Structure 1
Amino acid sequence: MWRWQIRRDLIDVKVFHVNQGNLHETYVTVPPCDVQRRIVSYLDERCAAIDDDVKKRQKVIERLKEYKKSLIAHAVTKGLDPTAEMKDSDIKWVDQIPSNWQTSKLKALFQITKRIAGVEGLTVLSITQDGIRPKDFSTGKGQFAETYSHYQLVHPGDFAMNHMDLLTGWVDISRYEGVTSPDYRVFSARDLAVSNPSYYLYLFQMCYLNRVFFGSANGVADKGRMRLQTNAFNNFVVPLPPLEEQKRIAAYLDERCVAIDEAISRQEQLIEKLGEYRKSVIHHAVTGKIDCTEA
């Protein structure tokens, strides 16, 4: 009712703005003081219980995310066989790897490509932590270029990496044909008989999440600019399991990560419902639709 009173006086106003004059002309329900105190007490108790439930679910989400990170890190560096014989590795961020694994510099496995589009009208792709997707210009968010003809081509199956900012950047495999910033890194596997893109995508994303790339990066972390230069990328050493084992690891992580993501999504949906329930409880209590006298 109070909101309706405000909007009633602003029907022909293009920019919604409430001033003291509008407020002075509105009416609110004023219950007796003892009823007000009961309502406050009731809401304190109910809202505290809801807030506690939300906090517990947020902690569950945090634990699930940490578990997912550790699951990926272990699988891509140790494999799936807990009884596998291990050996010391020459990778500075991995102490041991299975004895049948090799190691390799990225330049032996992947080829960086920079193909400038030279034309307008192609789909502009953004690299986000939700994946590589067409840029949504309607939101007005993000950076815009005067022309996109100088952007570089990205083909389906290409890796695209924001290596300019390892704190907030990301890497993913594109499902789209389009263009992305010429400052980003686009690369692809040299030989699919040697390296499985899905396995290495998990490994690369783990290097972002666990800040493994930081050891080879340049910049200042607290200023939000840690960059993985081309030479550092090319000479970055990674595990090289047998191809079939790479595929098994990727398939295993696909299945497990989907299950974890679904569990996280369920908790997020419950948190959203709790937020709506909290609003409903407050609304019904302060408008007298709930008997708070027994609280």
Structure 2
Amino acid sequence: MRIIHTKLFRGHIFKIHNGATPKSSESDYWNGDINWITPEDLGHNIGKTIRDSRRKITLEGYNNCGVSIASSGSIALSTRAPIGHLAKVELPSCVNQGCRLLEPQEGCEDYWYYTLHSANSTLVSRGQGTTFMELPRQSLKSIKSSVPPPEEQQTIAAFLDYKTAKIDALIAKKKALLDKLAEKRTALISHAVTKGLDPKVPMRDSGIDWLGDIPAHWEALPLRRLVINVKTGSTPTGVNETHFDDKGMPWFKPGDFDNSLFLDNAEKRLSEEGVNEVRVFPPNTVMHIGIGATIGKVGITTLEASCNQQINSIICNEKLNPLYAVYYLHSIKEFIVKCGKYTTLPIINQDETKELIFTVPPVEEQEMITQSLLHEEEHINTQQNRINAVINKLLEYRSALITNAVTGKIDVRNFRLPEAEELVTHEE
């Protein structure tokens, strides 16, 4: 019978380094050479290791913010917003207060990386907080882990490197198919709202350089001539819990927008008190994000709803089908990103939104275009759902494999890399 000892993370396995942030107003603290890793860095990182952080600090910044540097091979772990992102650092690094660095004091670094990966649900379950969940240092320190002999740790890590690389390659192929479907969707929409459905229709110059030729019987008009109004959303004054009710009116924020055309699910819903504090928009309002990283995303409401001030709400008149407007805005998203004014974030305000040039087929043709695109999207969505189901199964298998290997539920002590792969590794 195999006996595998367990130890606490605290002291025995890891030296735990806290994070902090230098004063943002001190320019001498920033743009240095020291990695300063954040949850955002870990969330965007692909793979087991991380080499660089998006922002770096200077030695002066390091000396004035109370962080400590952990050696290469340490594991950066996000402990809030959200809990559980992780990566091995390739270079000595420090972190902000949303992370901690776990510096292994014994054994195989890669084994500890996989151990932390398998402990994700435990880490999340020990989070505390109301505004956001955070994993306290004491809770992290009290977690126990299996500690097989060092040689077995290395074998487990090698086994998981080999197996997860194969799984990740399969997932990458599936994601490439999703990218192709997304490109197909964008191309279908762009062609339908700028050239129409009839390939033999006579064309004319739109007079707009970036738009090019359009069907001869279409118009090209500024949005202000096609709407009742364009208004930004609003936020309840003082924002408190009494403004919200889980069964109330949807109050949309940029985070509620996904790849769906229809806006039905808002993270926040307004109580009657909250509704009295904001602008309310009717069903079939086109909501278009006008600021920030997701500028240009668009959707249409299915119910009476509200939104915050980052969103421009468009109520179409009789000349513009709201769903056609959503498709058209989707087709010019990249143009909007490029033409948005920049301060710290790209912005397109309601007046600039009104000046966007729209292609305007007859209303009956707009309806035909939207119905054709809905049919095409249904087919694409079916394919995407099948691919995502396969990806989710692969991810579940990957997680289970890691957990079973690091907890000893599968015995991999006799694992060796296949000879062909050993040869490739040696040549590299």
Tell me if both proteins adopt one fold, taking TM over 0.5 as the criterion. Answer: yes
More strand by share: 2
**Aligned ranges for residues 130-149 of structure 1 at < 5 Å?**
130=258, 131-133=262-264, 135-137=266-268, 149=276
Alignment partner, residue 376 of structure 2: 256
Flag structure 2 segments of 5+ consecutive residues without an equivalent.
9-127, 129-135, 238-242, 417-428
Contact 1:153/1:179 (CA < 8 Å) preserved in 2? Answer: yes
**Aligned ranges for residues 152-163 of structure 1 at < 5 Å?**
152-163=279-290
> Structure 1 residues 169 and 27, CA, compared in 2 at 3 Å: closer, same or farther?
same
2:317 is the alignment partner of 1:213: no
Displacement of 1:224 in angstroms is 2.4
Displacement of 1:29 in angstroms is 4.1
Name which of structure 1's ranges 68-77 and 179-188 shifts more when overlaid on structure 2.
179-188
Question: 2-side partners of 1:266 and 1:257: how far apart?
Answer: 14
Alignment partner, residue 57 of structure 1: 174
Q: How many residues align?
A: 270
Displacement of 1:124 in angstroms is 4.4
Helix, strand or coil: the match of 1:152?
coil
1:11-70 alpha-carbon deviations (Å, 9 max, x no partner): xxx9661438x75xx764449x4x666555443332221111111112222222122112
Aligned amino acid, residue 154 of structure 1: F
2:123 is the alignment partner of 1:123: no
Contact 2:223/2:358 (CA < 8 Å) preserved in 1? Answer: yes
Question: 2-side partners of 1:42 and 1:118: how far apart?
Answer: 54
Alignment partner, residue 9 of structure 1: none
> Structure 1 residues 289 and 250, CA, compared in 2 at 3 Å: closer, same or farther?
same
Helix, strand or coil: the match of 2:249?
coil
> Structure 1 residues 187 and 36, CA, compared in 2 at 3 Å: closer, same or farther?
closer
1:108-129 alpha-carbon deviations (Å, 9 max, x no partner): 2112165999997762410432
State the identity as a percent: 24
Question: 2-side partners of 1:248 and 1:2: how far apart?
Answer: 67
Aligned amino acid, residue 76 of structure 1: V
Contact 1:104/1:239 (CA < 8 Å) preserved in 2? Answer: yes
Question: 2-side partners of 1:40 and 1:75: how far apart?
Answer: 51
Contact 1:167/1:224 (CA < 8 Å) preserved in 2? Answer: no
1:233-290 alpha-carbon deviations (Å, 9 max, x no partner): 2232211112222111111111111222232232222222112212223344451535
Alignment partner, residue 10 of structure 1: none
Which gives a bigger RCO, structure 1 or 2 (Cα 8 Å, sep 6+)?
A: 1
Normalising by structure 2, what TM-score? 0.54
Alignment partner, residue 198 of structure 1: 323
Alignment partner, residue 106 of structure 2: none
Flag structure 1 segments of 5+ consecutive residues without an equivalent.
7-13, 139-145
Runs of 4+ in 1 over 4 A off after TM superposition: 1-6, 35-41, 113-122
> Structure 1 residues 283 and 91, CA, compared in 2 at 3 Å: closer, same or farther?
same
Aligned amino acid, residue 156 of structure 1: P
> Structure 1 residues 247 and 27, CA, compared in 2 at 3 Å: closer, same or farther?
closer
Helix, strand or coil: the match of 1:154?
coil
Question: 2-side partners of 1:161 and 1:171: how far apart?
Answer: 4
Alignment partner, residue 177 of structure 1: 304
Alignment partner, residue 242 of structure 1: 362
Aligned amino acid, residue 281 of structure 1: L
Give the root-mean-square deviation of aligned CA atoms.
Answer: 3.7
Question: 1-side partners of 2:368 and 2:338: how far apart?
Answer: 28
Normalising by structure 1, what TM-score? 0.75
Contact 2:324/2:369 (CA < 8 Å) preserved in 1? Answer: yes
> Structure 1 residues 167 and 137, CA, compared in 2 at 3 Å: closer, same or farther?
closer
Question: 2-side partners of 1:277 and 1:135: how far apart?
Answer: 31
Question: 2-side partners of 1:164 and 1:5: how far apart?
Answer: 49
Aligned amino acid, residue 139 of structure 2: H
Contact 1:154/1:179 (CA < 8 Å) preserved in 2? Answer: yes
Displacement of 1:165 in angstroms is 3.9
Contact 1:77/1:97 (CA < 8 Å) preserved in 2? Answer: yes
More helix by share: 1
2:351 is the alignment partner of 1:225: no
